[in-house]
Structures are given as C-alpha cells and as structure tokens.
Amino acid sequence: MLRSTKIVATLGPASGDPAVLEKMIRAGVDVARLNFSHGSADDHRKRAELVREIARKAGRTVAIMCDLQGPKIRIGKFRDGKAALQPGSRFILDANCKLGDDERVGLDYKELPRDVEPAVGEVGNVFLYDIDDLTQIVDENLERRKSELPEAERMVAASVDDFWAWYTSLEVVPLIRALRGHAESLRQMELEKAFRRMQHLSDDDRQAIEVLTKQLLNKVLHEPTVRLREAAGNGKGPGVVEAARYLFQLDPPGSRETKSE
C-alpha cells in the first residue's frame, strides 16, 4: 500500500535500545527526530549512527531530523504566584522586573528590548520606543520643567519675602510694645511731678489732664508704630528696629539681664 504520510518518531530513552529502534523502523518510521534540547552532542551522534546502521540492516531509508533548540524567552515569577489579565488592558514585559503583578512581569531575555526589529513598530497596535525616543521624551520634559523655572523662582522668592516679613515682625512687635511702655512710663512720671506742684487741682481736672496726656501720647506714637509695621513688611525692619532702639534708648530683650550679670 502506498503511503503519502510520513511517520516521524522522536527518539528518547526508551528507543535508545537497538532492538526497540529496529522494531520502530521495520514498523514504518520514516524520520527519526533527535531533540537537541536534551542530551549531549556525543549522545546524538551515536543515536544517528545507530539509526543509519539499523536502517541499512532493515533495507529502508530513514531520514534524521535534528531539532535544534531555539532561543527561549521565559517570563519571570509573579508576586502572588499568578496574574489576571483583562481584555484590552496594558501589560508590560519588563526586563528589570523581579516579581510581576497584573501590570508587568520580568523576562529572562534581558536583551529583548535591544533586539526587537525596527519593523515591529509598523505593526498595527504596536508602539515601539527605542533609546532615542526615550531621550527625546526626557529632553522634552526637561525643557518643560525649565520653562516653569521662572514661576518656581517667583514662588520661592514670595515665600522668602513672607518668611522674612514674619521673622522681622518678631522684633518689631516687642519693639512697639517696649516703645509704648517707655512712653507711658515717662507720661506717668511727668504727670505725677505736675500733680505734686498743682495740689489745687480737683479730681475732675486731674482726670481731664490724664485723658489729655493719653490722647497726646497715642497721637505721637501712632505714626512711628505704623512705620515700624510697614518696615517689617518691606524688608527694612532690622535697620529701622536698630535705629528706633538707639533713638529711644530701648535695650533689646534680655540685654539688661546680661549687663547686670
């Protein structure tokens, strides 16, 4: 009977016995396949010679197919042992990923990103980016960040000004308090001297003079107080504070204790 179908048999440990191999060839094996993924070169050479010898003995022609091992590309392990991929979702083959998840997984073929043919980028729904593309993206992002630099500098400068105004106010507020306290002490001291010289004044007169001197004091100190607060906000605070302390002989807080020690 004429056969149009060829019988291909993969040779393995069981068929390594010459008697078994002879039965296979006499039964009709046309092609003996040697799987080069397993075994050594010497093993495959001996097995090929055995096929030739038995085929001649059986009076048959048997071809030998050498199945060469191609490159193996294996994905890595998953953090939870598995991953559930959803239709249409994005999944990344990441050569640097150690434990995968539902979004990416590692590869044992680390050179894969560099070995992809440029023509792959022409396939539909395939987006191929090389180092030059990534460099361009980095450069574009860098330029965009540089364009935002003036605004960032403005924000930093404004924050510095706000901080400096707050810091300066820490000195201005105690100075205003000290200035008013110093002026009030002088007002009371001079008022007591005047009342001792003017014993004939009635209580109502004394009260009227008391109110008048307070009003005068407030009017005199109003403008300096306003100017001191303005100086705290425009950066002139430290110089104005020192000048005011010098003019009114107001010691900084704690200086009297230091001098007395």
Domain boundary among 95, 116, 146: 146
What does the mean pLDDT of the chain come to?
85
Q: Is 88 helix (H, G, I), strand (E, B) or coil?
A: coil
Does residue 175 register a pLDDT over 60?
yes
For the residues 144-151, what does the mean pLDDT come to?
90
For the residues 183-211, what does the mean pLDDT come to?
91
* Residue of higher predicted confidence among 183 and 133: 183
Question: Is residue 76 within 8 Å of 107, Cβ to Cβ?
Answer: yes
DSSP-based helix, strand, coil % in the chain, nearest 5: 60, 10, 30
For the residues 137-157, what does the mean pLDDT come to?
89
Residues 6+ apart with CB under 8 A from 109: 71, 72, 73, 74, 95
pTM of the model: 0.35
Which tens digits make up the pLDDT trace of 39-60?
Answer: 888 989 999 999 999 999 999 9
**Judgement on whether residues 222 and 205 belong to the same structural domain of the protein:** yes
What pLDDT is recorded for position 139?
87
**Judgement on whether residues 157 and 250 belong to the same structural domain of the protein:** yes
Place of tokens 């993206």: 137
Domain boundary among 129, 146, 163: 146
Length of the chain (residues): 261
For the residues 109-131, what does the mean pLDDT come to?
80
3-state secondary structure labels for all residues of 233-245 = HCCCHHHHHHHHH
State how far the alpha carbon of 144 is from the alpha carbons of 139, 148, 203, in Å: 9, 7, 77
Please state, for a pLDDT cut of 70, what percent of the chain lies above it: 93
Does residue 142 register a pLDDT over 80?
yes
State how far the alpha carbon of 54 is from the alpha carbons of 11, 17, 19, in Å: 14, 11, 9
Give residue 115's pLDDT band: very low, low, confident or very high (50, 70, 90).
confident
Does residue 161 register a pLDDT over 70?
yes
What pLDDT is recorded for position 261?
44
Amino acid at 62: V
Residues 6+ apart with CB under 8 A from 33: 8, 9, 10, 11, 65, 67
**Judgement on whether residues 180 and 111 belong to the same structural domain of the protein:** no
Does residue 195 register a pLDDT over 50?
yes
Residue 190 belongs to domain spanning: 152-254
Which tens digits make up the pLDDT trace of 77-107?
Answer: 999 888 888 888 888 888 888 899 999 999 8
**Judgement on whether residues 116 and 164 belong to the same structural domain of the protein:** no
**Judgement on whether residues 159 and 250 belong to the same structural domain of the protein:** yes
State how far the alpha carbon of 22 is from the alpha carbons of 17, 26, 58, 165, 233, in Å: 9, 6, 8, 101, 104
> What CA–CA distance (Å, rounded) separates 14 from 132?
54
Question: Is residue 78 within 8 Å of 105, Cβ to Cβ?
Answer: yes
Q: Dihedral (C-alpha) 139, 145, 149, 154: value to the nearest 10 degrees? A: 180
Which tens digits make up the pLDDT trace of 227-236?
Answer: 888 877 676 7
Question: Is residue 85 within 8 Å of 91, Cβ to Cβ?
Answer: yes
Tally of structural domains, the chain: 3
Is 72 contained in some domain? no
**Judgement on whether residues 107 and 58 belong to the same structural domain of the protein:** no
Pick the range with the lowest mean pLDDT from 134-143, 156-165, 173-182, 247-256. 247-256
What pLDDT is recorded for position 253?
53
Please state, for a pLDDT cut of 90, what percent of the chain lies above it: 33
**Judgement on whether residues 110 and 84 belong to the same structural domain of the protein:** yes
Domain boundary among 49, 67, 85: 67
Does residue 259 register a pLDDT over 50?
no
Is 2 contained in some domain? no
**Judgement on whether residues 157 and 247 belong to the same structural domain of the protein:** yes
Give residue 254's pLDDT band: very low, low, confident or very high (50, 70, 90).
low
Is 1 contained in some domain? no
**Judgement on whether residues 86 and 173 belong to the same structural domain of the protein:** no
For the residues 159-163, what does the mean pLDDT come to?
82
What pLDDT is recorded for position 170?
73
State how far the alpha carbon of 183 is from the alpha carbons of 99, 173, 232, 238, 248, in Å: 76, 15, 21, 22, 9
**DSSP structure string for 57-70:** HHT---EEEEE---
Is 29 contained in some domain? yes
Spatial CA neighbour of 46 closest among 2, 90, 11, 71: 11
